[in-house]
């Protein structure tokens, strides 16, 4: 996700709302800088080859032969949330309904107008198989968390 694009979109939201409190929120977590833990479900519910949106967040979790990974569902083009009505997530990839960008299952841009791939987040898996996504920690798209 482009910091300039995110900052610009957030600034425009602040202007539209006309609120000093919303402006302060843009300096923190509300507009994309920061984040925290997201419950990604369990490993037993995530088959190899699966990619699914995490309910209540803008995150997708996926699993391939290397393990579990997570990525943002905020389109880097105009910050549309592809996890809700602004897009779709499936085992074949992610689609942004706002302007037609398409991404493969690991977040690589297949079709613009988006020009950058989706950001990946650190994933941990508990001894009981619970998946936690740390949206405050970005990682390389090649990083996987092994499934025990």
Answer whether residue 62 shows pLDDT above 70: yes
- At 57, the pLDDT band (50, 70, 90 cuts) reads very high
What percent of the chain is helix, strand and coil (3-state, nearest 5)?
20, 35, 45
User: Tens digits of per-residue pLDDT, 78-103?
Assistant: 889 998 888 999 999 999 999 999 99
* pLDDT mean over 35-56: 93
CATH topology of domain 35-139: Rieske Iron-sulfur Protein (2.102.10)
Confidence (pTM): 0.76
User: d(Cα 2, Cα 24) in Å, to the nearest integer?
Assistant: 20
- Statement: residue 31 has pLDDT above 80: no
- Quick one: 71 exposed, middle or buried, by C-beta within 10 A (0-12, 13-18, 19+)? buried
Evaluate if residue 16 carries a pLDDT over 70: no
Whether pLDDT at 46 is above 60? yes
- Rounded CA-CA distance 43/62 in Å is 10
Report the pLDDT averaged over residues 43-69. Answer: 95
Provide the residue ranges of all domains of the chain, joining segments of one domain with +: 1-34, 35-139
131 C-beta neighbours (distance < 10 Å), count: 23
């Amino acid at each position: 996700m482009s910091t300039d694009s995110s900052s610009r979109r957030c600034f425009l939201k602040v202007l539209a709302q006309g609120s000093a409190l919303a402006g302060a929120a843009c300096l923190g977590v509300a507009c994309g800088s920061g984040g925290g833990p997201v419950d990604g479900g369990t490993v037993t519910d995530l088959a190899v080859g699966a990619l699914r949106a995490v309910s209540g967040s803008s995150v997708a979790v996926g699993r391939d032969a290397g393990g579990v990974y997570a990525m943002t569902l905020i389109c880097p083009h105009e910050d549309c949330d592809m996890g809700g009505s602004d897009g779709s997530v499936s085992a074949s990839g992610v689609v942004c309904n706002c302007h037609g960008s398409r991404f493969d299952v690991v977040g690589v841009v297949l079709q613009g107008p988006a020009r950058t791939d989706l950001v990946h987040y650190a994933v941990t898996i508990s001894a009981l198989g619970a998946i936690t996504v740390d949206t405050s920690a970005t990682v390389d798209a090649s990083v996987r968390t092994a499934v025990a």
